[in-house]
Amino acid sequence: MTSWHEGPRAGFDLETTGRDPLTARIVTATIVLVDGDGDVLEHHEWLADPGVDIPEGAAAIHGITTAHAQAHGLPAAEVVHGISAVLTRLFADGVPVLAFNARYDFTVLAQEGRRHAARVPVPSPVIDPYIMDKQADRYRRGKRTLTAMCEHYAVPFENAHTSAADVLATLRVGAVLAERFAFLRCPAADLHASLIVWADRQAANFEEYLRRTEPDAVIERAWPVVGSTADRPADRTAGRPGQRVGQYS
């Protein structure tokens, strides 16, 4: 049996205008394809003019201001079509795509596809090191951010919160997790199916914890894409399990 981390795999990351994946707009995007040894085969990057102002809080994290995006970015629709074309090809070839907190990035992309009448791929197989780490080491204390995980697993990480740096770090963390935990070494399609179950359980466990003090708390279970606003109660979060909000990713 060949494990997903022994063959070609890709990483995907977005930097956006906001924390809620149902309303956030794409600002930058990166997709990197590597071979079984981790050597880069393809590197795709986009800078978008999102068509809305980029809040100062988001710009402070990823470094892209409204003025810069308007002056140098491609039209948002063109970026969404470009990202979708690359991902569609990778998924059609059976290449697993890694995304840290995948439900954020793939939900943003799905929403942008709806806004710009772009056909986005059904994301499969997807591999999410965030969900994998919680499953493998569920009682570890501390943060589960990409930066924290890179520190924990001794993965070099510079220029955090740029989409290119986040993609490379995600690919490296994913490989380390597979090497360290035997149950994560399996074909990509099998791991994708397991991640759906694990994401649901992690969200349910956090929801149960919250309901000790907040009886109406609801945590999003869907992975790797959450539904539209109409599909969820007003208080439901679409962020990662264990958080009450989304993220600038």
**Domain of residue 48, CATH code:** 3.30.420.10
pTM summary value: 0.90
Poorest-confidence range of 28-37, 153-162, 166-175? 153-162
In a domain, 114, yes or no: yes
Helix pair angle (76-92, 102-115), 10° resolution:
120
pLDDT > 90: percent of the chain? 87
Poorest-confidence range of 66-75, 167-176, 218-227, 231-240? 231-240
Domain extent, residue 80, equals: 4-187
Res. 243: pLDDT tops 80: no
Averaged pLDDT of the chain: 91
In a domain, 41, yes or no: yes
Which segments within the chain are labelled E, that is strand?
A: 9-16, 26-34, 40-49, 74-75, 97-98, 126-127
Q: One-letter amino acid identity for 175?
A: A
Confidence of residue 244 (pLDDT cuts 50, 70, 90): very low
Q: What's the pLDDT at 238?
A: 37
In a domain, 53, yes or no: yes
b/e burial code for range 52-79 (CB count within 10 A of at least 16 → b): eebeeebbebbebbbeebeeebeebbeb
Rounded distance, CA 84 to CA 19, Å?
A: 21
The verdict on whether omega for the bond into residue 125 sits within 30 degrees of 0, i.e. cis, is yes
Confidence of residue 195 (pLDDT cuts 50, 70, 90): very high
In a domain, 234, yes or no: no
In a domain, 220, yes or no: no
Question: Which tokens is 168 given?
Answer: 């490379």
Confidence of residue 8 (pLDDT cuts 50, 70, 90): very high
Domains identified in the chain, total number: 1
Which of 153, 191, 159 is closest to 173 using CA atoms?
153
Q: What's the pLDDT at 97?
A: 98
In a domain, 65, yes or no: yes
In a domain, 219, yes or no: no
In a domain, 71, yes or no: yes
